[in-house]
Amino acid sequence: MKNIELIDKINKLKKEKHAIILTHCYQNIEVDKVADYVGDSLYLSRVAANNDAKIIIFAGVYFMAETAKILSPNKKVILPQLKAGCQMADMITAEKLKDFKAKYPNLPVVCYINSTADVKAESDICCTSANAVKIVESLDSDKVLFVPDKGLGSYIDSKLENKQVISFEGFCPIHWEITPKEVEEKKNKYTDALTLIHPESNPEVIKLADFVGSTTAIMKYAKESKNKQFIIVTEKGVVDRLQRDYTEKEFIWVSEKAYCEDMKKIKLEDILKSLETEQPEINVNKDVAQKAFNCIDRMLKSS
């Protein structure tokens, strides 16, 4: 079936079924044509918590659909491709977190939203890349445990003089493996460009930034800046959307490494099938969901 037919069928069916489609900015860009909401993790979790749809179709990865289910337990939450996971979220389990806590007892645990429900259930408060510094700063402790992302953890630590952030060893390969050499090569080639970097990146890469920010912050900065050229050090979906929306500017993708295969697993065909079958549905164990809810809700209330 052609994309135009798929889009038409999806848009009709989602109205009939009172479904909404939430899409992360790293998704295949054609998914935006059927999306009701497109944004970063913080924005999408707020939408998931406050909407009156019957069905939420999440065009993202597993932890995002799981978070939506935790925030809206009475709705049917569907992830059109069950295999869309997150390599970073899979680097820590509840057991590993318990060991980490035992090594540093009595410290608050902040977990990045890019984690499983089990890990959230063992944590005190959640954060996304958009509010991480603010959330850690708000805690009444001079030492904080941060899981699973050592990239974001070290960035928060560098921003807060009075707090020590002790990070778990996880990382997002899509951001972490971009090297300073790759960024420098682009900077040397595009000398007028500003370099915008996501905080999941390596600290040596972050040193080369003109601006560091979450997906939404990078997009806002690029929109508002008078500059015409930008080197974008994050996932390709962000580069594609910026180039589509601001045709008078030029956006340079830092490296082909910044491509999340998991985020690209959902195609329009999968969305149509999932609307027709209302599968695969995401469910979370009740006890785990209640504890994980407290962790996410604390974040939503304090940012």
Q: Which residues bind ligand 13P (CB under 6 A)?
A: 40-41, 114, 128-130, 172, 200, 214-215
Q: Which does 87 bind (CB under 5 to 8 A by kind): ligand SF4, ligand 13P, none?
A: ligand SF4
CB of 172 to ligand SF4, least distance (A): 3
Nearer to ligand SF4 by C-beta: 114 or 167?
114
CB of 25 to ligand SF4, least distance (A): 10
Nearer to ligand 13P by C-beta: 215 or 255?
215
Nearer to ligand SF4 by C-beta: 7 or 172?
172
The reply on whether position 174 binds ligand SF4 by CB under 6 A is yes
Helix residue ranges, H only, 24-83: 41-49, 62-71
Nearer to ligand SF4 by C-beta: 72 or 114?
114
Phi, psi of 61 (to 5 degrees): -120, 175
| Interface residue with ligand SF4, options 260, 271, 284, 295 (CB under 6 A) | 260
- In angstroms, the CA 19 to CA 11 distance is 10
- Whether the Cβ atoms of residue 263 and residue 92 lie closer than 8 Å to each other: no
Nearer to ligand 13P by C-beta: 129 or 275?
129
- Near ligand SF4 by CB under 6 A, which window of 91-99, 118-126, 224-232, 255-263? 255-263
Q: Which does 41 bind (CB under 5 to 8 A by kind): ligand SF4, ligand 13P, none?
A: ligand 13P
Nearest-CA neighbor of 263 among 93, 31, 47? 31
Q: CB atoms < 10 A from the CB of 217, how many?
A: 17
Q: Helix axis angle, 41-49 relative to 286-302, nearest 10°?
A: 110
- Near ligand SF4 by CB under 6 A, which window of 136-144, 201-209, 260-268, 285-293? 260-268
- In angstroms, the CA 271 to CA 263 distance is 14
Nearer to ligand 13P by C-beta: 13 or 300?
300
Q: Which does 129 bind (CB under 5 to 8 A by kind): ligand SF4, ligand 13P, none?
A: ligand 13P
CB of 23 to ligand SF4, least distance (A): 13
Structure-token pair, residue 147: 């899981």
- Whether the Cβ atoms of residue 117 and residue 137 lie closer than 8 Å to each other: no
Burial environment of residue 16 by CB neighbours within 10 A (0 to 12, 13 to 18, 19 or more)? exposed
- Near ligand SF4 by CB under 6 A, which window of 69-77, 150-158, 248-256, 259-267? 259-267
Nearer to ligand SF4 by C-beta: 148 or 195?
148
CB of 262 to ligand SF4, least distance (A): 5
Q: Which residue has the tokens 């080197």?
A: 231
> Which of left, alpha, beta for 235 (phi over 0: left; psi -120 to 50: alpha)?
beta
Quote the DSSP letter at residue 110. E
Q: Which does 214 bind (CB under 5 to 8 A by kind): ligand 13P, ligand SF4, none?
A: ligand 13P
DSSP-derived secondary structure for 122-176? TSSEEE-TTTHHHHHHTSS-SEEEEESBHHHHHHHHHH-TT-EEEE-SB--HHHH
Structure-token pair, residue 291: 């504890």
- In angstroms, the CA 154 to CA 151 distance is 5
The reply on whether position 114 binds ligand SF4 by CB under 6 A is yes
Binding interface with ligand SF4 (CB under 6 A):
26, 61, 86-88, 114, 172, 174, 235, 260, 262-263
